Amino acid sequence: MGLIIESGYTSINKAGEELCGDNVATVKNGKFTTLVLADGLGSGVKANILSILTSKILCTMMANEISMESCIETIISTLPVCKVRGVAYSTFSAIHIDDDGKGYMFEFDNPAAIYFHEGKCQDFDRQQLEICGKKVYKTELNLSDGDYIIVMSDGVPHSGVGMLLNFGWQRKEIMEYLDREISSDMSAKCVACMLTSACNDLYLDKPGDDTTVAAIKFREEVTVDMMVGPPVDKSNDDFYLQRFMAGEGKKVVCGGTSSQIVARYLHEDIRTTLEFPDPEVPPIAYINGIDVTTEGVLTIRKLLKLSEEYMSNSDLSPKYYKKKDGASLLADMLFVKATHINFYVGQSVNVAHQGLPIDTTMKLKLVEKLGKNLQAMGKTVEMNYD
């Protein structure tokens, strides 16, 4: 299996503001990932415009291998000048990195990025440059498997100023917090959300500044094969299962009929449980050779709801799934562990659903929406219909 770059971010607005003055843009171009976190001057509408322009321009130009000198010249000539302060200003952290973990990072006036390597936070070696009269720091990147890069707006070190902390959250304390809390099985999104949530706690739920954390993780590819529903033609069952079981990916089966077909093909029993860790989600089952076995439509509907929360860049609920209900097990497998997901979607009508407000079209729509959400998370998704 190869290694890939995974990214995610979370933002909270300054209390009383409808728009965030920070913005994160990402572009995946071939084997390169480009991520820019920009923090516009002030807060509200003006800061929002400045940060969006900066992040979009920088991200697009860097993804196309244009020099940082040209990028900064373009930003200076493009940003609208603030009438009150008389300047056009947005800070940024910009990362351009390939799937071998090699690349570079430029930082201008944002808090210095944190490098999480071999279970511990550390500083990057940074080279100071002067570009268009501005002091910019450049870092050569060469990541190892399991490394994280964490970039942030100044709302992070300002957390708790005048509230729980007199002088804000010091960099040393932030790094100590991350040393304690990061575990190797966390996604980039999970780490970003965890740190943003901690800042919100220090602000007592009333942020004194826009606060954004973005993270990049260098990690192994993990493929998950997910079967949802039996094929229309029963005579195709064995061919369908042969394809599903052929790959080396983790195996997930959703739906009672699908589980029976898989168990029969593998010559294994289905072991059911009567436990309800979540009253909204039907119990799971176990089949030797299958990693996760769940009920169908109701579980996927709850999974879809969890995917909307996971994708939200302002939702602070934890982005890891420790509960043992079917939807949480699938969320952990698909949102956190997986990088590539192959769906095997059977379009047979389920006899058990006759008389209920559930039909094949509904199931297909749920699966298609889930697939789109997974793609939006940065996963590689393939749909196979039978």
94 has which bridge partners?
36, 106
The pLDDT, as a whole number, for residue 356 is 47
CA-wise closest residue to 212 among 53, 48, 68, 87: 48
pTM over 0.85: yes
**Cα 197–Cα 120–Cα 9 angle in degrees, nearest 5:** 35
pLDDT digits (tens, 9 = 90+) for 357-374: 455 678 889 999 999 999
Contact status, residue 280 vs residue 301, Cβ threshold 8 Å: no
CA-wise closest residue to 89 among 70, 106, 108: 108
pLDDT digits (tens, 9 = 90+) for 328-359: 999 999 999 999 999 999 876 655 555 544 55
Contact status, residue 251 vs residue 289, Cβ threshold 8 Å: yes
**How confident is the prediction for the chain on average, in pLDDT?**
91
CA-wise closest residue to 141 among 97, 106, 99: 97
The pLDDT, as a whole number, for residue 87 is 64
Residue 288 confidence (pLDDT) above 60: yes
Q: Residue 222 to residues 106, 250, 341: CA-CA distances in angstroms?
A: 30, 8, 9
The pLDDT, as a whole number, for residue 133 is 85
pLDDT digits (tens, 9 = 90+) for 209-222: 999 999 999 999 99
DSSP 122-159: EEPP-EEEEETTEEEEEEEEE--TT-EEEEE-TTTTTT
Share of the chain above pLDDT 90, in %: 77
Structure tokens at 225: 């094969």
* CB-neighbour burial class of residue 158 (10 A; exposed 0-12, middle 13-18, buried 19+): buried
The pLDDT, as a whole number, for residue 149 is 98
Residue 86 confidence (pLDDT) above 70: no
Buried/exposed 144-157: b ≥16 CB within 10 Å, e otherwise? eebbbbbbbbbbbb
pLDDT digits (tens, 9 = 90+) for 133-189: 889 999 999 999 999 999 999 999 999 887 666 678 999 999 999 999 999 999 999
DSSP 14-82: PTT-SS-SEEEEEEEETTEEEEEEEEESSSHHHHHHHHHHHHHHHHHHHHTT--HHHHHHHHHHHSPPP
Domains of the chain: 3-220 (3.60.40.10), 223-385 (no CATH)
Residue type, 184: S
Residue type, 151: V
pLDDT band at residue 293 using 50, 70 and 90 as cut-offs: very high
- Compute φ and ψ for 33, nearest 5 degrees: -115, 130
Contact status, residue 111 vs residue 156, Cβ threshold 8 Å: yes
Q: Beta strand pairing status for 380-385 and 340-345? A: parallel
Q: Is 263 helix (H, G, I), strand (E, B) or coil?
A: helix
Neighbours of 314 (CB within 10 A): 11
Share of the chain above pLDDT 70, in %: 93
Structure tokens at 56: 């979009």
| Range 120-128, long-range pairs (CB < 8 A, 24+ positions) | 120/179, 121/175, 121/176, 121/178, 121/179, 122/175
Residue 321 confidence (pLDDT) above 60: yes
What is the rounded distance in angstroms from the CA atom of residue 75 to the CA atom of residue 105?
17
pLDDT digits (tens, 9 = 90+) for 33-71: 999 999 998 888 989 999 999 999 999 999 999 999 999
Buried/exposed 273-312: b ≥16 CB within 10 Å, e otherwise? eeeeeeeebbbbbebeebebbbbbbebbbbbbebbeebee
H-run or E-run covering 375: helix 360-376
DSSP 198-252: HHHHHTTT--SS-EEEEEEEEEE--EEEEEES--SSGGGHHHHHHHHHHSSSEEE
* CB-neighbour burial class of residue 364 (10 A; exposed 0-12, middle 13-18, buried 19+): middle
- CA-based end-to-end distance of the chain: 28
